[in-house]
């Protein structure tokens, strides 16, 4: 234990270290690392708020700028962009139903409903507080348990991933309220959309209709912004002057005592789940936010409020995605394996600085390793200090009239989608998904299960086929006693399925989750 605090002390000293910096001929003594951390989280918040522009593109563009910095300053800034984006992403999700980052899709569900009921302030505050708490805990987890957790991550092979995805898909059905059949239909539609693109095993193009822009599949941002953002705008334009209700009720900015009481347990559970799933390479952090929401909906006493602005529905996924963002550094720092595209870029940044990522970083360059971990904690503190006062400003956005707000949102979405691969085609595709989303709303089908199917489908297929290849076609590989983790997930999926499907229970489910429309 003392070792940990000793190490963290090394880290904090590194973060707060004063350095002589020469800017424009003037030499100043500044806590340079802290300043880089601040720049990182500010940038991260900004790109998180802007739809479509994600941390991957931002970090890639900034990489050349970081070459002239010391490795520690560069890494602190780049990491700040990554977890800063997780904070920023929830802001647009809550205010205008626009998931700025993939991990904030679930935040839309209840966050936006809270905003519609004039509780945008408490929703934003809950997201910030939940993220901060989760970030702190997850940073400690990284500091204390990184090496053993990395070993756990290695236990996840194709079979385990497949079974986890099955559990995730069954859980996707729980995300929806109302009709079970419609929820399943949306999950399946999402799965089909996820199949578009090049088949991993054979390299054959599927459902791309000869359009080369679709050869790599449909982008997540395109689907999410169409189904949530554009669809929401169309749906709102239907209702004249609905906006007054929206803004006149803007109540207190801070959560009430009751709110605080209700968010404690979800934040704790979300942090736990997020920290656990974050260490899995490949979509772990994303699954975390969906998983945390589903869990809350199942265990909460207020589960009837979910989808109508339950504070638990914001607290849990926001904590989970931030915890996941922190613990996803574990495979990178201990094994040198990137768990997502951002982490792959961090490896690039380290290698260009002449550092080979891996377990030796911890022993050979303790200042760098612990400095980075300490900076995560400091960065999270900065984010919460930064974001709480900003809430007042964000709320003002809600009073902007539709005729100004909507064209601006559309413009930002188009820029965001276009910036990903510079293809005008993607903007048209987003518009199509907007229409599809509108049709779905009219039919009483919800987009969240579709999005989850869309994300999980390709991962599930890939891992299923890889597991089958490795076992030379033996299907028992998923439930053999040598794979207890896989078997456990499948059993859990079956139990969840039975709970959802049992007619007696289903009646109760419909009663509980009936739509307010």
Footprint of another protein on 268-307 (CB under 8 A)? 281-282
Which stretch in 27-35, 120-128, 210-218, 264-272 sits in contact with another protein by CB under 8 A?
210-218
Which stretch in 23-31, 51-59, 110-118, 383-391 sits in contact with another protein by CB under 8 A?
51-59
With CA atoms as reference, report the closest residue to 445 among 161, 186, 225: 186
Q: Write down the H helix ranges in 97-242.
A: 105-116, 120-154, 158-175, 180-195, 220-224, 231-238
Number of residues that bind another protein (CB under 8 A): 54
Instruction: Check binding of 56 to another protein (CB under 8 A).
Output: yes
> What are the tokens at 322?
């931030």
Which stretch in 56-64, 120-128, 316-324, 402-410 sits in contact with another protein by CB under 8 A?
56-64
Instruction: Check binding of 64 to another protein (CB under 8 A).
Output: yes
- Minimum CB distance to another protein smaller for 177 or for 483: 483
Which stretch in 72-80, 224-232, 416-424, 506-514 sits in contact with another protein by CB under 8 A?
416-424
Footprint of another protein on 463-492 (CB under 8 A)? 466, 469-470, 472
Instruction: Check binding of 366 to another protein (CB under 8 A).
Output: no
- One of 203, 389, 473, 481 touching another protein (CB under 8 A): 203
Compute the distance between CA of residue 331 and CA of residue 353 in angstroms, rounded to an integer.
Answer: 19
Compute the distance between CA of residue 29 and CA of residue 214 in angstroms, rounded to an integer.
Answer: 52
- Minimum CB distance to another protein smaller for 403 or for 472: 472
How far CA 335 is from CA of 42, 53, 84, 210, 338, in Å, comes to: 29, 29, 24, 40, 9
Q: What are phi and psi of 27, to 5 degrees?
A: -100, 125
Per-residue interface string for the shown chain with another protein, residues 418-457, x marking contact by CB under 8 A: --xxxx----------------------------------
Which residues have C-beta within 8 Å of that of residue 209, sequence separation ≥ 6? none
Instruction: Check binding of 57 to another protein (CB under 8 A).
Output: yes
Which residues have C-beta within 8 Å of that of residue 180, sequence separation ≥ 6? 173, 500, 501, 506, 509, 510
Which stretch in 28-36, 163-171, 194-202, 253-261 sits in contact with another protein by CB under 8 A?
194-202
Task: Please list the residues that pair with 22 across neighbouring strands.
Answer: 27
- Residue 370: Cβ-neighbour burial (10 angstroms; 0-12, 13-18, 19+): buried
> What are the tokens at 184?
């399943």
Which stretch in 127-135, 152-160, 180-188, 408-416 sits in contact with another protein by CB under 8 A?
152-160
Footprint of another protein on 303-342 (CB under 8 A)? 331, 335-338, 341
- One of 213, 234, 254, 305 touching another protein (CB under 8 A): 213
Min dist. Cβ of residue 67 to another protein (A): 7
Instruction: Check binding of 25 to another protein (CB under 8 A).
Output: no
Cβ atoms 52, 223 nearer than 8 A: no
Compute the distance between CA of residue 165 and CA of residue 461 in angstroms, rounded to an integer.
Answer: 9
Give the DSSP per-residue string, 191-222: HHHHH-EE-TTT--EES-TT-GGGTT---HHH
Residues near another protein, by CB under 8 A = 56-57, 59-61, 63-64, 67, 153-155, 157-158, 198, 200-205, 212-213, 215-216, 281-282, 331, 335-338, 341, 344-345, 347-348, 351-354, 356-360, 420-423, 462, 466, 469-470, 472
């Amino acid at each position: 234990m003392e070792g940990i605090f000793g190490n963290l002390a090394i880290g904090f000293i590194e973060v707060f270290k004063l350095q002589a910096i020469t800017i424009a001929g003037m030499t100043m003594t500044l806590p340079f690392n802290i300043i880089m951390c601040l720049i990182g989280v500010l940038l991260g918040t900004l790109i998180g708020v802007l739809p479509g522009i994600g941390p991957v593109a931002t970090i890639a563009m900034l990489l050349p700028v970081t070459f002239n910095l010391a490795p520690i300053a560069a890494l602190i800034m780049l990491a700040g962009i990554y977890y800063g984006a997780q904070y920023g992403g929830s802001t647009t999700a809550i205010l205008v139903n626009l998931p700025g980052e993939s991990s904030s899709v679930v935040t839309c569900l209840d966050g936006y409903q809270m905003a519609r009921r004039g509780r945008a302030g408490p929703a934003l505050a809950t997201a910030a507080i939940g993220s901060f708490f989760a970030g702190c805990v997850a940073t400690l987890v990284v500091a204390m348990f990184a090496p053993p957790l990395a070993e756990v991550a290695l236990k996840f092979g194709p079979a385990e991933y497949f079974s986890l995805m099955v559990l995730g898909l069954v859980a996707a059905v729980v995300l929806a309220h109302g009709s079970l059949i419609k929820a399943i239909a949306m999950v399946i539609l999402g799965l089909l959309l996820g199949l578009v693109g090049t088949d991993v095993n054979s390299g054959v193009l599927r459902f791309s209709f000869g359009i080369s822009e679709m050869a790599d599949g449909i982008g997540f941002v395109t689907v999410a912004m169409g189904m949530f953002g554009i669809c929401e705008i169309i749906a709102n334009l239907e209702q004249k002057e609905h906006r007054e209700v929206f803004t006149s009720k803007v109540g207190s900015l801070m959560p009430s005592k009751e709110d605080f009481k209700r968010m404690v347990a979800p934040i704790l559970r979300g942090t736990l789940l997020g920290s656990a799933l974050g260490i899995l390479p490949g979509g772990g952090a994303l699954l975390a936010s969906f998983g945390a929401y589903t869990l809350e909906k199942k265990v909460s006493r207020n589960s009837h409020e979910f989808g109508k602005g339950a504070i638990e529905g914001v607290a849990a996924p926001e904590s989970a995605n931030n915890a996941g963002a922190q613990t996803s550094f574990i495979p990178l720092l201990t094994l040198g394996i990137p768990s997502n595209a951002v982490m792959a870029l961090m490896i690039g940044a380290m290698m260009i600085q002449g550092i080979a990522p891996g377990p030796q970083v911890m022993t050979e360059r303790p200042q760098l390793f612990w400095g980075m971990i300490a900076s995560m904690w400091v960065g999270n503190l900065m984010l919460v200090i930064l974001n709480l006062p900003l809430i007042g400003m964000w709320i003002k956005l809600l009073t902007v009239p539709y005729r100004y707000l909507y064209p601006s949102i559309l413009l930002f979405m188009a820029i965001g989608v276009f910036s990903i691969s510079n293809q005008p085609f993607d903007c048209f595709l987003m518009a199509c998904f907007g229409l599809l989303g509108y049709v779905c709303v009219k039919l009483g089908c919800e987009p969240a299960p579709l999005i989850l199917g869309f994300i999980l489908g390709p991962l599930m297929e890939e891992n299923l086929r890889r597991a089958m290849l490795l076992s030379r076609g033996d299907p028992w590989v998923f439930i053999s006693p040598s794979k207890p983790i896989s078997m456990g997930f499948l059993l859990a999926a079956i139990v969840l399925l039975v709970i959802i499907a049992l007619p007696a229970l289903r009646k109760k489910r419909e009663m509980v989750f009936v739509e307010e429309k």
